Amino acid sequence: METLIIKPKDKAELKFFLELTKRMGVKSATIESDADERLFQSMEKNKDTPEVSRDKVIDTLHRILNDES
Protein backbone atom coordinates (compact mmCIF):
# COMPACT_ATOMS: atom_id res chain seq x y z
CA MET A 1 0.00 0.00 0.00
CA GLU A 2 1.19 3.53 -0.69
CA THR A 3 1.60 6.25 1.93
CA LEU A 4 0.10 9.73 1.83
CA ILE A 5 1.90 12.54 3.62
CA ILE A 6 -0.04 15.65 4.60
CA LYS A 7 1.69 18.66 6.16
CA PRO A 8 -0.91 20.67 8.09
CA LYS A 9 -0.36 24.39 8.51
CA ASP A 10 -1.08 24.36 12.26
CA LYS A 11 -2.11 22.17 15.19
CA ALA A 12 -5.82 22.70 14.55
CA GLU A 13 -5.46 21.39 11.01
CA LEU A 14 -3.40 18.43 12.27
CA LYS A 15 -6.16 17.61 14.76
CA PHE A 16 -8.74 17.86 11.95
CA PHE A 17 -6.88 15.41 9.69
CA LEU A 18 -6.26 12.94 12.51
CA GLU A 19 -9.94 13.04 13.48
CA LEU A 20 -10.94 12.63 9.81
CA THR A 21 -8.78 9.52 9.37
CA LYS A 22 -10.15 8.10 12.63
CA ARG A 23 -13.74 8.57 11.46
CA MET A 24 -12.92 7.04 8.08
CA GLY A 25 -11.34 4.02 9.77
CA VAL A 26 -8.01 4.71 8.10
CA LYS A 27 -4.72 4.09 9.92
CA SER A 28 -2.76 7.28 10.52
CA ALA A 29 0.31 8.34 12.47
CA THR A 30 2.49 11.37 12.85
CA ILE A 31 6.14 11.10 11.90
CA GLU A 32 7.11 11.63 15.53
CA SER A 33 4.86 8.85 16.81
CA ASP A 34 6.09 6.50 14.08
CA ALA A 35 9.73 7.20 14.95
CA ASP A 36 8.96 6.62 18.64
CA GLU A 37 7.27 3.31 17.84
CA ARG A 38 10.20 2.11 15.69
CA LEU A 39 12.66 3.09 18.42
CA PHE A 40 10.61 1.22 21.05
CA GLN A 41 10.37 -1.89 18.85
CA SER A 42 14.11 -1.85 18.28
CA MET A 43 14.78 -1.44 22.00
CA GLU A 44 12.42 -4.30 22.89
CA LYS A 45 14.03 -6.59 20.32
CA ASN A 46 17.50 -5.89 21.67
CA LYS A 47 16.92 -5.53 25.41
CA ASP A 48 18.57 -8.86 26.26
CA THR A 49 21.73 -8.32 24.19
CA PRO A 50 25.20 -7.84 25.70
CA GLU A 51 26.35 -4.41 26.85
CA VAL A 52 27.51 -2.07 24.06
CA SER A 53 29.38 1.22 23.95
CA ARG A 54 27.68 4.59 24.17
CA ASP A 55 28.95 5.51 20.66
CA LYS A 56 27.35 2.38 19.20
CA VAL A 57 24.01 3.24 20.84
CA ILE A 58 24.09 6.84 19.58
CA ASP A 59 25.02 5.70 16.06
CA THR A 60 22.17 3.18 16.03
CA LEU A 61 19.67 5.78 17.25
CA HIS A 62 20.76 8.16 14.49
CA ARG A 63 20.31 5.43 11.87
CA ILE A 64 16.83 4.52 13.17
CA LEU A 65 15.67 8.13 13.25
CA ASN A 66 17.05 8.81 9.78
CA ASP A 67 15.48 5.67 8.24
CA GLU A 68 18.84 4.11 7.42
CA SER A 69 19.01 0.36 7.67
Range of the domain at 60: 29-69
pTM: 0.46
The per-residue pLDDT for 68 is 57
11 is a domain residue: no
Name the range with the highest mean pLDDT among 16-25, 43-52, 57-66: 16-25
9 is a domain residue: no
22 is a domain residue: no
The per-residue pLDDT for 7 is 86
For residue 27, give every residue at least 6 positions away whose Cβ sits within 8 Å of its Cβ, in sequence order, or none: 21
37 is a domain residue: yes
7 is a domain residue: no
The predicted-structure confidence for 24-50, as pLDDT tens digits, reads as follows: 999 888 877 767 778 888 888 888 888
**Total structural domains within the chain:** 1
Query: In angstroms, rounded to a whole number, what is the distance separating the alpha carbons of residues 46 and 42?
Result: 6
pLDDT band at 19 (very low <50, low <70, confident <90, very high): very high
16 is a domain residue: no
